[in-house]
Amino acid sequence: MVTALQTIEKAEVLKTGAFALISKKLWLSKPAYISAIVLTILYLSAGFADFLAPYSMNFADPDLANAPPSKIHLMIDKGYISGPFVYRMERLFDVDTYKQVYSEKKYARLPVKLFTKGEVYRLFGFIPSDLHLFGVDVPGRIFLLGSDINGRDNFSRLLFGAQKSLTIGFLGLLIMFPVGILYGGIAGFCGGLVDNIMMRVAEAIMSIPGFYLLIALAAILPAGMNSTERFALITVILSFIGWAGLARVIRGMVLTIKQQEFVEAARAVGQSEWKNMIRHVLPQTTSFVIVAATLQVPNFILSESGLSFIGLGIQQPDASWGNMLKAALDNANDLYNQPWLLAPGLLIFLTILCFNTLGDVCRDILDPKSSTV
Amino acid sequence: MSLPVYILRRALQALPLLLVISIMGFIMMRLAPIDPLAYLKANPAISQETIKAEEERLGLNKPPVVQYVLWLGNLLKGDLGISTSGGSVSSLLLQRAGNTLLLSVSTVIFTWLIAIPAGVYAAVYRNTIIDRLLSIFTAIGMSMPTFLLALLLLMLATKTHILPIGGLTSQDFFERNYIGKCFDIIAHLIIPVTVLTLIGLAAIQRQMRASLLDVLQADYVRTARAKGLMENSVIYIHALKTAINPLITLFGFEFADLLSGAALTETVLAYPGLGRLTLEAVQSKDMNLVMASLMLGAIMLITGNLLADILLRFADPRITLE
Amino acid sequence: MKSVSWANKETIEQIRSLLLVFVTIFIVLNACACISIESASGEMHTAVQERTSSATKEQKNLLDNIYKAPYPGDYKLVTIEEGKNLEEVWQARGGVGKAGGVLNVSSFGSGPKTFNCWAASDDQSAGIASLMYESLLDVDPWTAKSYPRLARSFSVSHDHKDYTFTLRKGLLWSDGYPITADDVVYTFGTLIAKGFGNSSARDILTVYGHYPTVEKIDDLTVRFHTEIPFAPFLSSLRMAIAPKHILEPITNKLIAQNKIGEFNNFWDINCNPETIVASGPFKLHRYVPGQRIELVPNPHYSMVDKLGHRLPYLSKFVNLIVPDQNTQLLKFYAGDVDLLDVRTVRGSDAALVKQREAADHFKMYNLGPADGTIFLMFNLCRRKNPKTGKFYVDPIKQKWFNNSYFRQAVTHAVDRKRMVDNILRGVGYELFTAETQASVYFNKQLQPFPRDIEFAKKLLEQGGFHLKDNVLYDSEGNKIEFTLYTNAGNSTRDAVCIIIQNDLKELGIKVNYQPVDFNILVDKASNSLDWEGMVMGLTGSRLEPYDGANVWKANGRLHMFDQRLAINGDKIVVSDARDWEKEIDNCFDKGATTFDLAKRHQYFDRFQQIAYDQQSFIYLFTNLDLSAVRNHIGNYMPTPLGIGSSPRGSMHNIEEIFINDSASEALKK
């Protein structure tokens, strides 16, 4: 770690500043460029979920539960293309085979409309609107990725789930990094007994396998929380797992930095220790923090989905990618015939892939020679 | 410092650490509005007295501090207490830890056996097609959630019926001869080991590649080449020896990752391992079992780190143990 | 934190971007895969396939399709003479099978908690115990009548207070020790009477505070005496008889040390399986924790087939322990297990299993409605918490919940049909009564009703509620809103709550759905009482409605809709029972002391009528019991009444079940 820091110092980082350097160089790398675009699309979709989704998160058509993806028909008639349109689906039950089948009622075509009016919502929580990107008139339904056990649209829920799954990473950073940096900074700066005790506690946390700690913490969440509180507490728990490791690295860096000349100089001028640390020591860790943060976001996303997947994270009726993927596990013996249930998993994968790529490129820019963090 | 003394010292250092972990674990479990006997209470056929007797047996009717002291005392005597699901925690753990260890060790072996040559190959033949394919492969591996991969393989296995799903042994396991038993276990291990290997592979392969590339550009390797040593011996004897050092620190991490990462895989694939046991214990608030597996997990992790440090010393004599 | 850098960025970057593009396209394609293009000629405005069958028709059809195994006749007592030893054995009722062969079954969960039959409190332990132990008598799975098992005969005195059992001659434990009246007296007079193991057994036998006496008349005869005539008593004697020669030294020691609780540690899951002494068809052979249980025949099991061969036929019974039903299905598909028992084939799996029936050579059995129930309830508690002096339930909400119009409106507003259709995919039953259709005491007079939101609104109006702007208010102008709890992580319950939430929205009722941990849920219902609405499930009994006394009597430990708490951990005293609660108590008390079957039916019919009128539990649905068995399993004769704990499940005649090799040979060809 320390060697990495020294390399950074030699580089241009000090001249231009880490953020400026990244914004200058990041776009030169094609994967980073594409990752950034994909992530932007994902985040925008999450932000505009109300508009993009044909239905709201809790909208349910109980007569169309467990429906397969709607078929969108195009009709070519005398060289003209009419459509796209859907048919109303209908569920039939056969007592002898215990089978529910969905068939299309082919007597009324229901065109898929763009910019159609639907359920009322508040965009970003305050702009009232009822405009949806696409939709079909009742009694038709457009379920691009089928519907779940309650007849809720999987596609819409995927978008609303993204709001939770994608933001939890950044919210987690907001908690974990200040705590980790301050904790490590204080330990490193004070040294001696304080350092010793603080580091033993951090080590104890690091010595519990992360996932065990995660589930043990998730299991003690008090009952009777609403979904926002639960979401917030899950975020806190996720940040709890990583901060100790971060603190230890920061401490190591601070220990080195504080022996450097300019810190000594500031001390000689008579700056207080605290000011000294905030002004001179901690800023030196920026490069590392940026890289660590980009690589930490996918970890948060992964942990949240894992936790929700086993039922300890975000819970019904709220949607998150992890708890939506649980439907795939519930249907494990028939997954082959319902591959659309894996869509949340693929989105988790895609998001993590993009974040990992961005993280790697950031590190290459800030720290061309480093190999291990 | 000689090796035994070093190990002893590290073990002694770990003791207060374990104490802190146990206190933290206990506080966490006590914070939960726990009722490990909820399932009994919800059963109309169970009498109040049975519930009381069970509370007594599990020590749930005592204040937390007393419970902790009792627990610690029993632990020092080697008694981990009893599980709410019946039977003693130690025998439950022993069985499951063995299975998880089997899974982890086979995963580690496979990961390293594949990752190191792949990394070396990629570094030596950098920018070739294979190197590029490997890099795509590792990018996928690093970003793939274990539970997704496990689900995908499960889907494949149900469709093809080639590999057994769930458990560690077939129904006729005990009727088979020694070789048959081995093959049966291997067949059951294939899917979980594949999941964990594919995911663990990426980091090590990339590290190996990067680290070897660094060394190959170093001065002394150039000197060795200049002295006319054969290319192969340069790479495999000198460079590799140096390049592998940073990987050894990864070893400790990997050990820990396997314990954690295996839990979800075990759950999805119905593998009777420690991770699944812990998960079930947490969900049913099985106090003694959760505490014991937290402790066991911590011990395995600390041991993993210790092992990594010792290996590092063997790999690089310049590093001293202290 | 681990991460690795790229050394040759330039080239790999390109590949990586390609990869990203590829994955993105893949996902987009995945989303668009549903688009289909048709030509005009293929487009036909076909007539609509109108749904011909109504809800009740589908339900009726499911009921009509219940499998009915032909009645095989009674057991016959035959005598075997081996030298000087005379042994009276039962002759099995089924066809003659073939000895040998392994039966592989599975059960889900974490495995049994104990092998000590008398300490068992969970389903799987009880299931294993039922393979290993016999009781004096059992209930015939076809006729629901009691018939002797270890006994050769029994009689009940005229005043219904004395029960005399005569044991069969020559009965042996699996270790060769004789089974005599001493074992019976020990089991009921010491083991259960003193509260060893699961003391629920003692509660079941205790009649209004009096534990029955049991005395030995001679070596093979015992007599039970109850203070008060008690109708469920005979069926509660269906408890496993314990081997006195093994257990008495242990219990004596524990009594001396005053450590009765430690009996649970004897024959627990860590014991040596070979030490367990059994009287049933099987004995324990091997246990691999969390993975499998193997049982082998008890050589002294006293039943023979029609040709005189000693049963059971199977040479081994292997029970795989798997975490969930999905794995059970996968194992069955893979051919690892021979049978999928009831409770494994959930409604949502039924169609898939059925689809494979012919190709995979097995047969599915529809065994009718299950005995478990799922219901919605409101907290009717009107009392104050003595510790805090505050009401357990907000007084405003108390009024709503105690208003029977409110509960009636809710029961007419919840859509049971959709629950069955969506959650069980049509394979299940709407439920309206406290006893399910599986119970022999099911009250057929109580009519099912379809969802009727207008009727529900009318009921609410009559109850003093009014609707304004789609929000329901009570007479004092309070918005109707309550929190609905259920246990988290259970997809079925989640879905139930969401359907309730949506259905009640149409009445203007706001439901705040809150999944909580099962532990917390139970604590709320049975202890802290701070809940408003809750979705719960309970198991029922097919044969004896009195088993529900714990739930329905006002002082019951699971009288969840208005739970009274025990003071100082003692008896529950009820001071504020409603009239209908008192009447239910009366029905149970009378039902328990009446022996005339028709009259018993009347009492329990009345109880169901009150429950139906009051809707204190708003019953929602029940599952369909389905099992699937490979064709080479012989003598499988499931009946709805013959369903026990897993892994025995629907194999009530396990001793007769055999592996038909010729069938499996044919299958291989």
Residues 100-139 of C with CB under 8 A from B: 102, 104, 110-114, 121-122, 125
For residue B150, the domain's CATH number is 1.10.3720.10
Are residues A356 and B152, on separate chains, in Cβ contact within 8 Å?
no
B124, B69: one domain: no
CA dist., res. C596 & res. C599, Å (int) = 5
Query: In this prediction, what percent of chain C has a pLDDT beyond 90?
Result: 39
Tell me whether B142 touches chain A (CB under 8 Å): yes
B244 in a domain, yes or no?
yes
Residues 192-231 of B with CB under 8 A from A: 207, 210-211, 214
B228, B165: one domain: yes
C-alpha distance from B45 to closest chain C C-alpha (Å): 7
B162, B22: one domain: no
* pLDDT tens for each residue of C467-501: 988 899 999 989 999 989 888 767 788 889 989 99
Range of the structural domain that residue B165 is part of: 96-283
Tell me whether B11 touches chain A (CB under 8 Å): no
CA dist., res. C627 & res. C638, Å (int) = 9
CB-CB contact of A134 with A40 (8 Å): no
Give the pLDDT of residue C187. Answer: 93
| Residues in A touching B214 (Cβ below 8 Å) | 369, 371
B71, B102: one domain: no
B66, B109: one domain: no
Count of domains observed in chain B: 2
Residues 251-270 of C with CB under 8 A from B: 260-261, 264-265, 268-270
pLDDT mean across residues, chain C = 85
Which chain C residue has the Cα nearest residue B164? Answer: C334
C499 in a domain, yes or no?
yes
Chains in contact with A, counting 3 or more C-beta pairs less than 8 Å apart as contact: B, C
C48 in a domain, yes or no?
no
Which chain C residue has the Cα nearest residue B209? Answer: C7
Given the structure tokens 């795939």, which residue do they identify?
A: A328
- Could you say which of B143, B147, B152 has the minimum Cβ distance to residue A306? B147
B108 in a domain, yes or no?
yes
For residue C459, the domain's CATH number is 3.10.105.10
B147, B27: one domain: no
Tell me whether B268 touches chain A (CB under 8 Å): yes
DSSP C53: S
Are residues B151 and A310, on separate chains, in Cβ contact within 8 Å?
no
Give the pLDDT of residue B45. Answer: 56
C-alpha distance from A13 to closest chain C C-alpha (Å): 18
Tell me whether B203 touches chain C (CB under 8 Å): yes
Report which of residues B256 and C540 the model is more confident about: C540
B155 in a domain, yes or no?
yes
Give the pLDDT of residue C523. Answer: 80
Give the pLDDT of residue A2. Answer: 41
Give the pLDDT of residue C277. Answer: 93
B45, B105: one domain: no
B304 in a domain, yes or no?
no
Give the pLDDT of residue C432. Answer: 92
Tell me whether A98 touches chain C (CB under 8 Å): yes
Nearest in space to C534 (alpha carbons), one of C545, C526, C543: C526
B23, B158: one domain: no
C242 in a domain, yes or no?
no
Are residues C110 and B280, on separate chains, in Cβ contact within 8 Å?
yes
B186, B65: one domain: no
Residues 480-519 of C with CB under 8 A from B: 489, 518-519
Which chain A residue has the Cα nearest residue B258? Answer: A209
Q: What is the CA angle C10-C15-C18, rounded to 5?
A: 130
CA dist., res. B23 & res. A201, Å (int) = 11
| Residues in C touching B171 (Cβ below 8 Å) | 102, 104, 292, 318, 320, 336-337
* pLDDT tens for each residue of C113-125: 889 999 887 888 8
* pLDDT tens for each residue of C28-44: 555 444 444 444 333 33
Nearest in space to A357 (alpha carbons), one of B206, C149, B232, B31: B206
B22 in a domain, yes or no?
yes
Count of domains observed in chain C: 1
| Residues in C touching B250 (Cβ below 8 Å) | 2
CB-CB contact of B24 with A203 (8 Å): no
First to last CA, chain A: 6
* Chain pair B-C, CB pairs under 8 angstroms: 177
Give the pLDDT of residue C42. Answer: 36
Phi and psi at residue A347, in whole multiples of 5°?
-65, -40
CA dist., res. B294 & res. A209, Å (int) = 8
B319 in a domain, yes or no?
no
CA dist., res. C70 & res. A88, Å (int) = 46
Chains in contact with B, counting 3 or more C-beta pairs less than 8 Å apart as contact: A, C
C221 in a domain, yes or no?
no
In this model, does residue C522 exceed pLDDT 50? yes
B86 in a domain, yes or no?
no
B109, B138: one domain: yes
Q: Write out chain A's pLDDT in tens, 373 residues.
A: 344 444 444 444 444 566 677 777 777 777 788 888 888 999 998 888 888 888 888 888 888 888 888 888 777 666 677 778 888 888 888 888 888 888 888 777 788 888 888 788 887 778 888 888 888 887 778 888 888 888 888 999 999 988 888 888 888 888 888 888 888 888 887 777 888 888 878 877 777 777 777 777 776 666 566 677 778 888 888 888 778 888 888 888 887 777 777 777 777 777 777 777 777 777 777 777 877 887 788 888 888 888 888 877 887 778 889 888 988 888 887 788 888 889 999 999 999 988 888 888 877 777 655 433 3
- Structure tokens that stand for C368 in this block: 């009718």
Give the pLDDT of residue C308. Answer: 87
* pLDDT tens for each residue of B239-281: 777 777 777 767 766 766 666 667 888 888 888 888 888 888 8
Please write down the long-range contacts of C140-144, taking CB distance under 8 Å and 24 or more positions apart: C140/C641, C141/C639, C141/C641, C141/C642, C141/C652, C142/C69, C142/C71, C142/C72, C142/C639, C142/C641, C142/C642, C143/C71, C144/C440, C144/C543, C144/C641
Which chain C residue has the Cα nearest residue B139? Answer: C16
Alpha helices (runs of H) in C571-629, residue ranges in sequence order: 579-593, 597-614
| Residues in B touching C324 (Cβ below 8 Å) | 270
C510 in a domain, yes or no?
yes
B123, B226: one domain: yes
* pLDDT tens for each residue of C169-221: 989 999 999 999 999 999 999 999 888 887 778 888 888 888 999 999 999 99
- Could you say which of B143, B264, B301 has the minimum Cβ distance to residue A207? B301
Are residues A150 and C422, on separate chains, in Cβ contact within 8 Å?
yes
C459 in a domain, yes or no?
yes
Give the pLDDT of residue A8. Answer: 44
Which chain C residue has the Cα nearest residue B130? Answer: C12
Question: CB neighbours (10 Å) of residue C444?
Answer: 9
B65, B120: one domain: no
Range of the structural domain that residue C503 is part of: 9-30+53-65+371-379+390-438+447-623
Question: CB neighbours (10 Å) of residue A130?
Answer: 11
> The sheet that has C35-39: what strands, in order across it?
A99-111, A80-94, A72-77, C35-39
C549 in a domain, yes or no?
yes
